[in-house]
Chain A
Amino acid sequence: MEQRLYLYPVWLRIWHWINAVLFLLLLFTGLSLQYSSVEFSFIDFDLAVTMHNVSGIIITIAYFMFLFGNMFTSNGRFYKAKRKGYISDLIVQIKYYTYGIFIHQKTPFPVTENRKFNPLQKLSYVASMYFLLPILILSGFALIFPEIIIKNVFGVSGIHLTGLVHIISGFSLSIFLFIHVYFCTIGKTPLANFKSMINGWH
């Protein structure tokens, strides 16, 4: 019997599911604000604003939980940039996902105690958690306190630019969300990875 690995500690699972629920809430309320209409709305504009702001603040606190967790536990090692040859590893992984998986090749970077993520996962998680999400959080807080935003940037409203950055980074993360959920079905069974994020064992 294959050895089971305990890869998802309790704090990480709690953070993950809080983050997931809040992100969905933010996505739903954010879309509702961006496409608000007098004739039809899923949710009242003012309620959507409140829910979006409160969820944004909680997801920020959760993000710090994630950052501290990675800083002070061994989970952080999975996000660190790797040795030389990363690009070629990445190409191998992309080839696997676009071809090898269909002809039942073995995964080129199987999960081990020291390698939770394959190269493509590592890239997408680092980009999401250390690049896009901080931009989303910072621009979101700027929009909660718009008086701190520079009024005019080369003739364009600073709030407008901040809004665009917030929307584009939010949209990019929501695309990540869809791909992330789909790729989670690529496990021993389609539900195996989802179960892992509940019980902690891979």
Chain B
Amino acid sequence: MTGFIAKSTIIGVMSLWMIVSATASNPEEDEIVFENAGFNHKCFNCHGQKTYHYFNQSTEKEVKDRMNPYFVIDSVAFYQSNHRNFMCTDCHSSDYENFPHNGELRMEPQFTCMDCHGGDPTFAQYQFERIEEEFQQSVHSTKHSNDFTCWMCHNPHTYKINARNNLNINEVIIYDNNICLSCHADINKYQLLSDQTNPNVLVTHDWLPNQALHFSKVRCIECHTEIDKEMLIAHKVQVKEKAVKRCVECHSQNSLLMATLYKFQTVEKRNKLGFFNAAILSDHYIIGANRNYYLNVASLIIFGLTLLGITIHAIIRIMSK
């Protein structure tokens, strides 16, 4: 009987704890307020879906039509993005509030990143000016017209700071590589800026050993940008001839990945278990970059003792002959 009561008490306490933990809300999550969600809802009502409804006054009928897929904005992604508190009309004309939209509105000039972020001390830490400088020198800028804007890579409706505050390195890699692949693996977007067909990245990288592993463990920009240690994210994309091709650039103790992919991680020289470039080790392992200090020392001692033992044994053998 006592055992039954004890078990019941334990189960009761555990259940209560589980209920309390499940219902306890994260205070930070509670604080998220989408200031302009109500206003934006009028736009998302049509532009957040694949179809939209309107009343056609000429035919006096309610019409359901398909939305142009390029004008559909993922509202979930928008409200997770850095611009989530914007009103649509902060960037688009307020005339869009009228429906049907005036056709000439499509000709309105679009803002660029620098229109808002340039020269603003609030954004100084993001180094927008240096980013623009690097971009102007990049192959994206020098080989293409002014049509190549920040928007080609950073969709203003979905862009969110990633590498800087995401501890999951795999998510950072996927997010950043998808930016490159949005053109380099999509001929429709690629041909917005080029008359050529986009080269197949799997074929152009067929020289790369363990290609699938490299593609899932590092970002395109690791090899294809010029690394500037002052820059948080390198934007100077180089011509392919200048891409990193020497394995040791990454596979060594001074791996360049520590200046790029792992820049935002803990960048201590050695962790407490003695691994060099330990920030890499949470999910990955790079031959040559992740040596272990203690194993290095232990192996040298064992090797040294072995040679010493052999030498002493040999000397005594010779002397006792």
Please give the residue numbers on chain A whose beta carbons come within 8 Å of chain B beta carbons, in ascending order: 33-38, 41, 44-46, 49, 97, 101-104, 146-147, 151-152, 155-157, 159-160, 163-164, 167-168, 171, 175, 178-179, 182, 185-186
Inter-subunit contact A36/B288 (CB<8 Å): yes
Task: Please tell me which one of the listed residues B254, B282, B287, B292 contacts residue A38 in the complex, with CB atoms under 8 A apart.
Answer: B254
Inter-subunit contact A178/B310 (CB<8 Å): yes
Residue interface mask B277-291, A partner, CB < 8 A = 1: 000011111011011
Cα(A102)–Cα(B310), bound, Å: 14
A157 neighbours in B (Cβ, 8 Å): 281-285
Task: Please tell me which one of the listed residues B248, B251, B281 contacts residue A156 in the complex, with CB atoms under 8 A apart.
Answer: B281
Q: A159-B285, A182-B310 are in contact. Are A101 and B249 (CB under 8 A)?
A: no
Choose the segment among B92-100, B107-115, B208-216 that binds chain A (4+ C-beta atoms closer than 8 Å). B208-216
Inter-subunit contact B248/A36 (CB<8 Å): yes
Inter-subunit contact A104/B320 (CB<8 Å): yes
Inter-subunit contact A45/B248 (CB<8 Å): yes
Closest 3 CB pairs of A and B: A160-B285, A45-B247, A36-B288
- Nearest CB in chain A to that of B287: its residue: A33
Inter-subunit contact B320/A35 (CB<8 Å): no
What are 14 A-to-B residue pairs whose CB atoms are below 8 Å? A36-B247, A36-B252, A36-B288, A45-B248, A45-B251, A45-B288, A46-B209, A102-B317, A146-B210, A147-B212, A157-B283, A159-B284, A163-B285, A179-B306
Choose the segment among B35-43, B74-82, B295-303 that binds chain A (4+ C-beta atoms closer than 8 Å). B295-303
B305 → chain A, closest Cβ, in Å? 10
Please give the residue numbers on chain B whose beta carbons come within 8 Å of chain A beta carbons, in ascending order: 209-210, 212-213, 246-249, 251-254, 281-285, 287-288, 290-292, 295, 299, 302-303, 306-307, 310, 313-314, 316-317, 320
Task: Please tell me which one of the listed residues A38, A146, A178 contacts residue B248 in the complex, with CB atoms under 8 A apart.
Answer: A38
B93 → chain A, closest Cβ, in Å? 49
Cα(A86)–Cα(B307), bound, Å: 28
Inter-subunit contact B306/A175 (CB<8 Å): yes
> 18 extra interchain contacts, Cβ-Cβ under 8 A, other than A33-B251, A157-B284, A168-B295?
A36-B248, A36-B252, A37-B248, A38-B252, A38-B254, A46-B209, A49-B247, A102-B316, A104-B320, A157-B283, A159-B284, A160-B285, A164-B292, A164-B295, A171-B302, A178-B310, A179-B306, A182-B314
B252 neighbours in A (Cβ, 8 Å): 36-38
Inter-subunit contact A35/B288 (CB<8 Å): yes
- Nearest CB in chain B to that of A145: its residue: B210
Task: Please tell me which one of the listed residues A97, A147, A152 contacts residue B213 in the complex, with CB atoms under 8 A apart.
Answer: A147
Cα(A152)–Cα(B168), bound, Å: 14
- Residue from A38, A168, A175 with most neighbouring chain B CB atoms (10 Å): A38
Cα(A33)–Cα(B246), bound, Å: 13
B209 neighbours in A (Cβ, 8 Å): 46, 49
A151 neighbours in B (Cβ, 8 Å): 283
B248 neighbours in A (Cβ, 8 Å): 36-38, 41, 45
Task: Please tell me which one of the listed residues B246, B281, B295, B320 contacts residue A45 in the complex, with CB atoms under 8 A apart.
Answer: B246
Inter-subunit contact B287/A34 (CB<8 Å): yes
B283 neighbours in A (Cβ, 8 Å): 151-152, 157
A188 → chain B, closest Cβ, in Å? 13
Cα(A33)–Cα(B285), bound, Å: 13
Cα(A34)–Cα(B313), bound, Å: 31
B229 → chain A, closest Cβ, in Å? 15
Cα(A202)–Cα(B212), bound, Å: 52
Cα(A89)–Cα(B75), bound, Å: 78
A175 neighbours in B (Cβ, 8 Å): 302-303, 306
- Residue from B253, B285, B288, B310 with most neighbouring chain A CB atoms (10 Å): B285
A193 → chain B, closest Cβ, in Å? 14
Cα(A168)–Cα(B313), bound, Å: 26
- Nearest CB in chain B to that of A146: its residue: B213
Cα(A101)–Cα(B321), bound, Å: 10
Q: A37-B252, A103-B320, A104-B320 are in contact. Are A182 and B281 (CB under 8 A)?
A: no
A33 neighbours in B (Cβ, 8 Å): 251, 287-288
Inter-subunit contact B307/A36 (CB<8 Å): no
Cα(A41)–Cα(B313), bound, Å: 34
Inter-subunit contact B299/A38 (CB<8 Å): no
B41 → chain A, closest Cβ, in Å? 41
Inter-subunit contact B306/A178 (CB<8 Å): yes
A152 neighbours in B (Cβ, 8 Å): 283
Cα(A178)–Cα(B299), bound, Å: 14
B254 → chain A, closest Cβ, in Å? 6
B263 → chain A, closest Cβ, in Å? 18
Inter-subunit contact B306/A101 (CB<8 Å): no
